Structure 1
Amino acid sequence: MSPGTKVTREVLEAGRGRLRVVGRAGVGIDNVDLQAATEAGCLVVNAPTANTVAAAEHGIALLACMARNVSQADAALKAGKWQRAKYVGVSLVGKTLAIMGFGKVGSEVARRAKGLGMHVIAHDPYAPADKARAIGAELVSFEEAIAKADFISLHMPLTPATSKVFNDESFGKMKTGVWIINVARGGVIDEDALVRALDSGKVAQAALDVFTVEPPAKDSKLVLHENVTVTPHLGASTVEAQEGVAIEIAEAVGGALRGALAATAVNAPMVPAEVLSELAPYVSLAEKLGRLAVQLVAGESGIKGVKVVYTSARDPDDLDTRLLRAMVTKGIVEPVSSTFVNLVNADYTAKQRGMRIAEERVSHDNAAAEAPLESIQVRLSHVQSKFAGAISDGGDIVVVGRVKYGVPHLTVVGPYEVDVSLEGNLILCRQIDQPGMIGKVGNILGRRNVNVSFMSVGRTSRGKQAIMAIGVDEEPDKKTLEKIGAIPAVEEFVFLEL
């Protein structure tokens, strides 16, 4: 099926259980109702790899085209103007290219840019550093990447964290005369801000294959700007890529019809009702712990080692943890990626991202316990944290949770014991243990109409260090968080979306 074909709940229900698989000939599956497909027991597969090279080549094509003013010079010459002096270009050799998003396409662009003699740096919060080094690229922070780059090529997914991440503020931190290429998703750029940056000269030129709204308006200031080169979302549009996508999706659909579950499946297989009923709150707990842990990682450090520890009174043969491991992976990967993670593709996804996920089971001495699990621990090793309080004595980011009254709860952060429901969102504060801290933070949130659902304080010893875990329904604005950080006893804080 193509992007224009809509597989809605009505279509799936009309199949009356006979529709077994939906194949999307490409990456995006926005036109498929995944929830309805899962409910109907219909597997959805896509073709995520066949157009990688085509997209990378188009990025390089736009890079070279822009650097040498090809599109502008072509239009001028066809209009009868011979303007050699006006369209003097710039050389690529020796220039610094920042690749924002070092996944399949970004890494292929890096390989080609190195062949052009460019110095390549890259930013991807969770890309393996050894993979970048093997290609000859240096992983750096977002701030360092945009500040050092002569050219910036975007290859990041569109997520809540990346939406309009290139805005007035980020453009202001770039070199004057920087060049921008986007073959990723239009929404990662604030298009009005880009027009302002082009008008001021902060951005010399931009080459865009994607737009926030496609097709863009005919009177779009961005599209019509003299220093912008545009193409109509042609990243995957080569004969070879189209053929490769067709073959890849045909193989995935064929395998699904034979009963083989491909790694490109994007919706979870049906789980027996009795198993799902028992594990449901632990499935939610596992995902939330993964989602919480990944947000504690400092962006440039990457994630390699993940360990999941299950404490249970059950015999190991009576507890299948594959679904729980998959949900930890889902929590870690999905907040920073457009990848859909489930029981089918979790291990494949982790391997592709260079993550090694180990599991350990610890016997719980209460043999009469009816619950399948006492607790789940997620431990990230060899990473830096943007919240030092989450680092355990062993130097790892550690979070532990359990299910209480059917609801996932956070019970340990680093060396601190807490007790807070993982519903809504979470604020963690590390502070000096002293009276009045709960009231001070609570008053700041209350004055800003932020509803507090839970609040818990854990400490190492009286009068020393403490962590306050605060469950909130809404995301506090920047000023509210700054006021919390300005409390003298607060040493650090972090807001986490769950």
Structure 2
Amino acid sequence: MRLKIAKGIARGLAFIHDKKHVHANIKPTNILLTSEMEPIITDFGLDRLRPTGSSSAAQPDFSVGSSSGAHQLLPYQAPESLQQPQGLQPNPKWDVYSFGIVLLELLSGRVFSDREMDRWWESGSVEEDKNRVLRMADVGIKGEPTVLVAEKLGEAGIKLLKDYADVDCSYNLSPEELCSKISQCDALIVRSGTKVSREVFESCGGRLRVVGRAGVGIDNVDLAAATEYGCLVVNAPTANTVAAAEHGIALLAAMARNVAQADASVKAGKWERSKYVGASLVGKTLAVMGFGKVGSEVARRAKGLDRARAIGVELVSFDEAIATADFISLHMPLTPATSKVLNDETFAKMKKGVRIVNVARGGVIDEEALVRALDAGIVAQAALDVFTDEPPPKDSKLILHENVTATPHLGASTMEAQEGVAIEIAEAVVGALKGELSATAVNAPMVPAEVLTELKPFVDLAEKLGRFAVQLVAGGSGVKTVKVTYASARAPDDLDTRLLRAMITKGLIEPISSVFVNLVNADFTAKQRGLRITEERIVLDGSPENPLEFIQVQIANVESRFASAISDSGEIKVEGCVKDGSPHLRKVGSFEVDVSLEGSIILCRQVDQPGMIGKVGSILGQENVNVSFMSVGRIAPRKQAVMAIGVDDRPKKETLKKIGDIPAVEELVFLKL
């Protein structure tokens, strides 16, 4: 019974959460509690819970009397639609729910998520339920959320937060101290120095609703754990853009002219003019790696330094960029794909004497490999504002290298940027606490479980189709017009495509940019990048049991890396469906195929003739590339055909060239999903 009562409290909370509007029509009534519930009043500390400040709600009275073996709780305002009939008889089920409703009234001012309700209801421990309710009681009594600011934030941002919440500024917390405090907080704000790990979310007891990153990069926040625990993560991507770009340019010029080394020399009493002869910037090539907000601002300023050519304005491949650049400026986020993207292999491909600037993230460079490249003269100089470990070790060979200029992560450190970031993140956090959608959210919001369960395989399909389609575009970033067609036996009003459209947008944008896309920011991001997505629904005959039969994505006004993907009307066209719960590609251009959309795929157009599958398979086998599936779609026997090959590993360029050199193969493209 104790567990039933504890769970009833949670169910009562959940009920009112779903029926918030019923407070508009209420009147006093009596609520009866069975005698078995009496110990819970004390166990849950209800005798100490008293609302503070003015309130229109009646004040609950926990001095209870008895009537027919039950306890009365007076007075209490309950919605008219929920009142029991006159001539009350004790009803344990009603009493349990009523008890939860009373508790929620005490905790007015705190809206609980459905995810929290589910977790409480599934809990097998009365003690756990009791502790959670008491923690939330503290919030309800205060009537305002608590925001923990774990790193220094500008005063303007702190003021905005204090206007809405109770603000706790506790800096330099150890991981253990952060985990200990977080269960008392509704929001957390950090910069780059605090790791918001899975352990933090596990320690929050379901209370933490938003994490604000005062800056752009969110590699110090476990996004998967945040989403799993129903916590929104927001950042401040615009306020420090100019400051970071200015610092990049400052390091570029200071490095080229040996400013830091010459300054140290003069202060040491030396006068070594011949030792610090610099390199001119005029007529040199700058590769801007990561052409987002900061990268584009760097390029704009670099052109003002009389660049003959600015890579990022002239889009080229990664290999061409590093092979031709005199200067390389890094501005990409730290992701699994960019981790140590500059390493021994890439340094070996660079022009000897290249100079590197990094104001992005330390982890994008293999620091030991950079030391080797500096010692070998491949890299003439490096100017670094960020490092893999911050602060770096005092005996770091990289920091102590005479050809390295180092600053302590100062990219966003201007007075103007600090205040701008503080205001931007404070506004985002307060908005999230109010339940508003945020354009700077970087993780997916909560989706109703029943909708997500039904749409999940189609959500995967939508993203994979977007990723597949954009990789077929020559130049990628020229995508501006996209048409999405949904084929379903359901009526158009029965299919909510917002999540699907968001995932297609995610697939189209993320492979060619550093932007994180989700349901919250998908439409905003598409509009910001000038990407216009139109949707069309085709109603099919048949059973509406499945939400969709297929999804088709068309990209207009672009050139294709794979000519066979162009439809008769001139657009890149790909079409997919869900088979056995997994996303499958069923059409490329005019060719029908049957390909599982997973891993990596090789597409090749060929003349349909005997032995082609064997020839391609033999080449891949000789290079130890495992084939997971193979499908061939053709116009007619002995005519053109498209072969789709799923592979577990990325083939070497030489391997792909061997396949392309087969006489019957007319074109070839490799796509990574």
Same fold at TM > 0.5: yes
- Alignment of 1:251 with 2:427, yes or no, is yes
Instruction: Give the SS at the match of 2:520.
Output: coil
Q: Mapping of 1:331-350 within 5 angstroms?
A: 331-350=507-526
Structure 1 residue 77: deviation in Å? 1.3
2:571 is matched with which residue: 396, 416, 423?
396
* Secondary structure of 1:467's aligned partner: strand
1:30 is the counterpart of 2:205 = no
1:353-368 to 2 correspondences below 5 Å:
353-364=529-540, 366-368=541-543
Equivalences for residues 202-221 of structure 1 within 5 A: 202-221=378-397
Q: CA shift at 1:323, angstroms?
A: 0.3
> Which segment drifts farther, 314-323 or 236-245?
236-245
What is the alpha-carbon distance in structure 2 between the residues aligned to residue 313 and residue 409 of structure 1?
19
Equivalent position to 2:442, from 266, 269, 273: 266
Is 1:183–1:235's contact at 8 Å kept on the other side of the alignment? yes
RMSD of Structure 2 on Structure 1 (CA): 2.7
For residues 50 and 419 of structure 1, the distance between their equivalents in structure 2, rounded to whole angstroms, comes to 47
Question: Residues 6 and 203 of structure 1: is their aligned pair in 2 closer, same or farther, counting only changes over 3 Å?
Answer: closer
Matched residue SS, 2:423: helix
2:304 is the alignment partner of 1:118 = no
Q: Is the 8 A contact 1:301 1:383 kept in 2?
A: no
Note if 1:316 corresponds to 2:316: no
Distance 1:86 1:231 in 2: 22
Amino acid of the structure 1 residue aligned with 2:529: R
Q: CA deviation at 1:346?
A: 0.7
- Structure 2 equivalent of residue 130 of structure 1: none
The counterpart of 1:457, out of the listed 613, 632, 642, is: 632
Q: CA deviation at 1:449?
A: 4.9
Match of 1:281 in 2: 457
Quote the Cα distance in structure 2 between the aligned partners of 1:202 and 1:102.
25
The TM-score normalised by the length of structure 1 is 0.88
Residues in 2 aligned to 1:153 and 1:6: alpha-carbon distance in whole angstroms = 26
Q: Tell me, what secondary structure is at the counterpart of 1:264?
A: coil
The aligned counterpart of 1:62 is 251
Counterpart-to-counterpart distance in 1, 2:600 and 2:487: 25
Cα distance in 1 for partners of 2:197, 2:339 equals 26
* Partner SS for 1:378: strand
Q: How big is the shift at 1:165?
A: 4.2
The answer to whether the 8 Å contact 2:355/2:380 transfers is yes
Contact 2:445 2:519 (C-alpha < 8 Å) held by counterparts: yes
| 1:77 alignment counterpart | 266
Whether contact under 8 Å (2:573, 2:588) holds in the other structure is: yes
The 1:411–1:195 alpha-carbon spacing in structure 2 relative to 1, beyond 3 Å, is same
Kindly provide the amino acid, as one letter, of the partner of residue 352 in structure 1. Answer: Q
Equivalent residue letter for 1:442: G
Give the deviation of 1:458 after TM superposition. Answer: 0.7
Secondary structure class of the residue paired with 1:491: strand
Find the aligned partners of 1:201 and 1:5 in 2 and give their Cα distance.
36
Q: How many angstroms does 1:81 deviate by? A: 1.2
Q: Which of 582, 592, 610 is equivalent to 1:435?
A: 610
Alignment gaps of 5+ in structure 2: 1-188
SS at match of 2:211: strand
**Letter of the aligned partner of 2:577 in structure 1?**
R
Name the SS for the 1:371 alignment partner.
coil
2-structure distance, mates of 1:166, 1:383: 31
The one of 263, 276, 281 equivalent to 1:92 is 281
Contact kept? 1:158, 1:338, Cα under 8 Å? no
Alpha-carbon offset, residue 172 of structure 1: 5.5
CA contact (8 A) 2:605 2:641 kept: yes
Of 407, 414, 423, 2:582 maps to 407
2:293 aligned residue: 104
Aligned CA distance change for structure 1 residues 358 and 422 (closer, same or farther; 3 Å): same
Following TM superposition, by how much is the alpha carbon of 1:289 offset from its aligned partner in structure 2, in angstroms?
A: 0.8
How far did 1:388 drift? 2.8
1:112-134 residue CA offsets vs partner (Å, 9 max, x unmatched): 223333345233xxxxxxxxxxx
1:18 aligned counterpart, secondary structure: coil
Report whether the alignment pairs 1:485 with 2:660.
Answer: yes
In 2, are the aligned partners of 1:121 and 1:139 still within 8 Å (CA)?
no
How far is 1:445 from its partner?
3.5
* Preserved contact between residue 163 and residue 188 of structure 1 (Cα < 8 Å): yes
Q: Structure 2: how far apart are the matches of 1:251 and 1:421?
A: 43
Q: SS of the residue aligned with 2:629?
A: strand
Q: Do the aligned partners of residues 493 and 213 (structure 1) sit closer, same or farther apart at CA in structure 2, a change above 3 Å counting?
A: farther
Q: Which residue of 1 aligns with 2:166?
A: none
Deviation at 1:145, TM superposition (A): 4.2
* 1:59–1:141 distance in 2 versus 1, CA, 3 Å: same
- Among 369, 378, 386, which residue is 2:553 paired with? 378
Q: Structure 1 pair 300/15, CA: closer, same or farther in 2 (3 Å)?
A: closer
Question: Matched residues in 2 for 1:486 and 1:426: separation?
Answer: 18
Match of 2:118 in 1: none
Q: 1:297 to 1:62 in 2, by over 3 A?
A: same
Shift, 1:338, TM fit = 3.9
Deviations 1:422-476 (A, max 9, x none): 2333222222211111222233444555443322101223222211112233444
Give per-residue Cα distances to partners, 1:229-262, cap 9 Å, x unaligned.
Answer: 1223221222322222211111011111112111
Residues 11-50 of structure 1: per-residue CA shift (max 9 Å, x gap): 4344333322222222233333333332333222111222
Q: Structure 1 residues 226, 348: closer, same or farther in 2, change over 3 A? A: same
Alignment partners' CA distance in 1, 2:193 and 2:289? 29
> How far 1:219 sits from its partner (Å)?
4.5
Cα 1:260/1:33, change in 2 over 3 Å: same
How has the CA–CA distance of structure 1 residues 440 and 314 changed in structure 2, closer, same or farther, with 3 Å as cutoff?
A: same
Match of 2:358 in 1: 182
Provide TM-score, normalisation by structure 2: 0.66
In structure 2, C-alpha distance between the alignment counterparts of 1:144 and 1:69, rounded to whole Å: 27
State the AA in 2 paired with 1:255: G
Whole-Å separation in 1 of the counterparts to 2:528 and 2:291: 12
**C-alpha displacement of 1:477:** 4.7
| Greater relative contact order, per chain length (Cα 8 Å cut-off, separation 6+) | 1
Is contact 2:601-2:646 (8 Å) kept? yes
Task: Give unmatched runs, 5+ long, in structure 1.
Answer: 124-136
Paired positions, count: 484
Task: Give distance in 2, aligned partners of 1:338 and 1:170.
Answer: 20
Query: Using a 3 Å threshold, how does the CA distance of structure 1 residues 475 and 146 change in structure 2: closer, same or farther?
Result: closer
Range with greater deviation from structure 2 (158-167 or 239-248):
158-167
Task: Return the offset for 1:93.
Answer: 4.4
2:327 partner amino acid: F
Mark the CA change 1:395 to 1:225 in structure 2 (over 3 Å): closer, same or farther: farther
Distance 1:298 1:182 in 2: 28
How far apart are the structure 2 equivalents of 1:201 and 1:17?
54
Partner Cα separation in structure 2 for residue 192 and residue 460 of structure 1: 53
Cα distance in 2 for partners of 1:309, 1:440 equals: 37
Which amino acid in 2 is paired with 1:101?
G
Verify the 8 A CA contact 2:292 2:514 in the aligned structure 1: no
- Post-superposition Cα deviations, 1:319-349, rounded to whole Å, max 9, x if no partner, equal 1111001001112223344432211011122
What percent of counterpart residues are identical?
A: 77
1:233 matched to which residue of 2? 409
| Secondary structure of 2:437's aligned partner | coil
Query: 1:74: Cα distance to partner?
Result: 1.1
